[in-house]
Amino acid sequence: MTSSYQKLQGKVAIITGGASGIGEATACLFVEHGASVVIADVQDTKGIETASKLGLHLATYMHCDVSSELDVENLIAFTIQTYGKLDIMFNNAGVWGKVIAQDVRDMDVEDFNYVMSTNVRGMALGIKHASKAMVEANIKGSIICNASISSILGDLDLPLAYTVSKHAILGLVRATASQLGKFGIRVNCVSPGAVHTPLLSSYIHELSSSTCMPSTKASQYSLLKPVDIAKAVFFLASDDSTAMNGTNLVLDEGYSSMRVAM
């Protein structure tokens, strides 16, 4: 691959939840286009394997629980110490939750807090500390958050806490894009439909074990591949998207636009 085609040549990126699924696919694409990548995850074995596959001179793994501010601070500090700067932050880590609750009357508050601490608090911490590093170094960086089609819909038979968290991510992106735009830092998000990832597989497994399996509307259209989402994240990370800030890029094969209300 020629350097003219490597649109992220010389860039340094962090990808949370980068050990598998969308994060792994994005890490592969970033490295392919010349970026150095820090893969952050709690799946240590898988994360180390992914970094090794990409090449340890191009990718590094670091354990990080995004709900912990200390972990996120250490992640940013490690990246700058190792590579000298931070250009791209992909806040990708997220969870379904441990309880499948389709009705607010069945909501488990502890599980709700668990989901929000990872999906919303984790994203907020990533934006906070990545943007601080970028502003201090006068880097006009790109911050991307992984939301979901659930950020614009509320009737997909998905866990309540998950849907609420994804709506919150959209608000977080819009608010921080407004604040950070004056520094030349762009904050955008991608909202995938159903993607063939370990996260979705685990949810489907939980549903199949449930005595009250819902008629998941999201199953009515084909699954996307992780690389489909990675390509959109790559676009938002590159200079090709310099005019985009505060954008929610929906990637669902038109499902949310064309679906018929039931």
Q: Please give, one letter per residue, the 3-state secondary structure of the chain.
A: CCHHHCCCCCCEEEEECCCCHHHHHHHHHHHHCCCEEEEEECCHHHHHHHHHHHCCCCEEEEECCCCCHHHHHHHHHHHHHHHCCCCEEEECCCCCCCCCCCCHHHCCHHHHHHHHHHHHHHHHHHHHHHHHHHHHCCCCCEEEEECCHHHCCCCCCCCHHHHHHHHHHHHHHHHHHHHHHHHCCEEEEEEECCECCHHHHHHHHHHHHCCCCCCCHHHHCCCECHHHHHHHHHHHHCHHHCCCCCCEEEECCCHHHHCCCC
Assess if residue 65 is contained within a domain. yes
For residue 190, the enclosing domain spans 8-249
pLDDT of residue 254: 79
Q: Is residue 1 part of a domain?
A: no
Asked if the structure places residue 261 within a domain, the reply is: no
pTM of the model: 0.88
Single out the catalytic residue among 83, 162, 203, 255: 162
In a domain, 2, yes or no: no
Per-residue model confidence (pLDDT) at position 209: 47
- Residue 96 located in a structural domain: yes
Establish if 3 belongs to a structural domain: no
Q: Which residues of the chain have pLDDT under 50?
A: 1-3, 201, 203-205, 207-221, 260-262
**Residue 259 domain flag:** no
Domain count, the chain: 1
pLDDT of 159 reads 86
Q: What pLDDT is stored for residue 143 in this prediction? A: 98
pLDDT number for residue 214: 41
5 is catalytic: no
Q: What CATH code is carried by the domain that includes residue 155?
A: 3.40.50.720
In a domain, 98, yes or no: yes
